[in-house]
Amino acid sequence: MNPSPSRRESGAHPAPEALQAIKDKIKACIQCGTCSASCPNEFAMDLTPRKLWRMVLMGETEAIFTSQTFTLCSACYNCTLRCPRGLPLTEAMHDLKQMAFRGQMARYKPSTAFYGHFMNTIRRHGRIRETEFISRYFMTMAPSKPMLPLSYTGLGFRLLRKGKMAIEYPFAAPGKRSLEKIFQKAESMEASK
Amino acid sequence: MSYLYYPGCSLTGTAKEYDLATRAVMDAMGVPLTELDEWTCCGASAAEACSDLLALALPAINLAIAEKMDRTQDVLVPCSACYLNLKKANEALRQDTKTRARVNTVLAEKDLTLEGTVGVRHLLDVLATDLGAEAIRAQVKVDLSHLTIAPYYGCQCLRPYPVFDDPEEPRSMEPLIRATGARIHPWQMGAKCCGASHMNTKMEVALELVHAILQAARGADAIVTVCPMCQMNLEAYQNKIARRYGDVAEMSILYLPQLLGMAFGLSDETLGLGLNLAVNDHFRSQCMAANFFRTEEIERKESRL
């Protein structure tokens, strides 16, 4: 997944118009707070989900994209299930994650790098190669979090010992299940939309 | 009754034992599974965070392969994340012709096309709805009544599509577990979130969620799961959680078909029990006790004959 270079360099927040599609999805929000009360990760969020949706409706891109709230959505779908207005809130969280990914916003790097490397690995091999994906993720994170791999070393060894993870060359050539053409097609269609 | 089978990436690696146990239990129950030819990744939780179109196209590739193979069989999916991705793509393509055309334009790159005719089924749905507790009871050879089991459902097999269970207070595993003789650990955590991929990107948050689940499971001999991500989060970070919170005992974590397979008398190797990261001595001794009493009971019956 290669976001466009012009946006990669930009540190600015997206224009409020960029939120239009998300606004349309959640415009019936009545600010009841059922989403906040249903969210398992709300305790760790700077903006509660209810406040986040208000910010979206008001076009407050700066408040949204300085907050970590949408990256803390673990897609449990409790809010979507319970929303009395029947709004697709988890989907709207995904939309915000995609905006952060496309804009390569620095403060979301742990999440965007993780998902980006995952996607690139399946683009090359069709299926996930755990060691390749995780090594590349750690490499990207190394400048800001050089000790990150240590949190997972013990687990890595246990998985290797049990034969549940293989030692892989992180730069292997694409395999026969490569999804390169699928990715290229999807990217060109989304760019021209 | 037979199914097309989509194992998904986890079941070929970190969740090998879920694949082994699923195949073994289905085989024991006389249900043939046909693995999808050259299946590819469903996009996991990554695609939806990067691209709407790929989040539909990646699972759609596999549904199109299924349609090509056999439209009359449902696709059985043991991983809850794969299940939701496949189901979501199927529903989106069925409901909206524009979306279908768009996704099929991408799929044409692989000479595939999708109509949305096959059914997508989670393993738990198939076990609970199509097979049922009675069919499981009929296969039970080892009485597991020494065990108390906490059923853990997680999120994505229940929500947002409430297909086979109550999405907030699920019960579908209970008759299946009772059919093995085991008791149900009473708790409210079965449908709570384990933090999913937060364990990789926001570890402190995920540890908090898993801690609450492990704490509520105290008193059970094991938690059973139906998702590789839930399984990994519950089994792999117990030491870290014990160090951080100091109040959680080690807990055995098994996949549901592993527990069923144990009751069917299938071997540890067949069920991949050596591959689990948290099957502890307490659990093993409880199982050995179960086997022991079973043998005594058989001997008593035989001596009466």
B93 and B25 part of one domain: yes
pLDDT of residue A142: 94
Chain B nearest C-alpha distance from A192 (Å): 13
- Tell me the domain boundaries of chain A: 5-103, 108-191
Cα-Cα end-to-end distance for chain A? 17
Please state the pTM of the whole predicted model. 0.94
Q: Do A115 and B50 touch (CB under 8 A)?
A: yes
Q: Are residues B70 and B176 in the same domain?
A: no
Nearest to A114 among B43, B168, B200 (CB): B200
Q: Which residue of A has its CA nearest to B213?
A: A40
pLDDT in tens, B285-297: 888 776 655 556 6
Contact: A118, B44; criterion CB under 8 Å? yes
Query: Tell me: domain A5-103, CATH 3.30.420.40, correct?
Result: no
Q: How far apart are CA B208 and CA B153, in angstroms?
A: 18
Calpha distance B2→B111 (Å, rounded): 27
Same-domain pairing of B101 and B194:
no
CA A111 → CA A173, A186, B42, B252, distances in Å? 25, 22, 19, 30
Does residue B305 sit within a domain? no
How far B176 CA sits from the closest chain A CA (Å)?
Answer: 24
Q: SS3 for A14?
A: coil
Whether omega for the bond prior to residue B160 falls within 30 degrees of 0, making it cis, is yes
The mean per-residue pLDDT over the stretch B142-152 comes to 94
For residue B17, the chain A residue with the least C-alpha distance is: A164
Question: What pLDDT digit, counting tens, does each position of B160-214 carry?
Answer: 999 999 999 999 999 999 999 999 999 999 999 999 999 999 999 999 999 999 9
The predicted structure's pLDDT at residue A10? 47
Q: pLDDT for B22-46, tens place per residue?
A: 999 999 999 999 999 999 999 999 9
**How far apart (Å, rounded) are the C-alpha atoms in residues B227 and B11?**
10
Q: pLDDT at residue A9 above 50? A: no
Percent of chain A having pLDDT more than 90? 82
Q: Are residues B195 and B53 in the same domain?
A: no
CB contact under 8 A, B41 and A154: no
**Mean pLDDT estimate for chain B:** 94
What confidence tier does B302 reach under pLDDT thresholds 50, 70, 90? low
| Mutation target vs B (from A38, A68, A74; most B CBs, 10 A cutoff) | A74
- Residue in B with minimal Cα distance to A122: B41
In this complex, do B193 and A41 lie within 8 Å of one another by their Cβ atoms?
yes
Given an 8 Å threshold on Cβ–Cβ distance, is B48 in contact with A158?
no
Scanning every residue of chain A, which has its alpha carbon at the shortest distance from the alpha carbon of B38? A177
Helices (H) and strands (E) in chain B, counts: 13, 8
CATH number of the CATH domain containing B98: 1.20.1050.140
Structural domain including B244 reads 140-300
Percent of chain B with pLDDT over 90: 90
Q: pLDDT exceeding 70 applies to what percent of chain B? A: 95
Provide CB contacts within 8 A for A20, sequence distance 6+: none
| CB of B57 less than 8 A from some CB of A | yes
Using an 8 Å CB-CB cutoff, list chain A residues near B105. Answer: 185, 189
For A46-65, how does the pLDDT look when each residue is reduced to its tens digit (9 = 90+)? 999 999 999 999 999 999 99
Question: Where does the pLDDT of residue A170 fall: very low under 50, low under 70, confident under 90, or very high at 90 and above?
Answer: confident
Strands of the sheet containing B148-151, edge to edge, are B183-184, B148-151, B222-225, B252-255
Query: Within a domain: residue B135?
Result: no
Q: What is the pLDDT of residue B286?
A: 82
Q: How far is B155 from chain A (nearest CA, A)?
A: 5
Query: Mean per-residue pLDDT for A70-76?
Result: 98
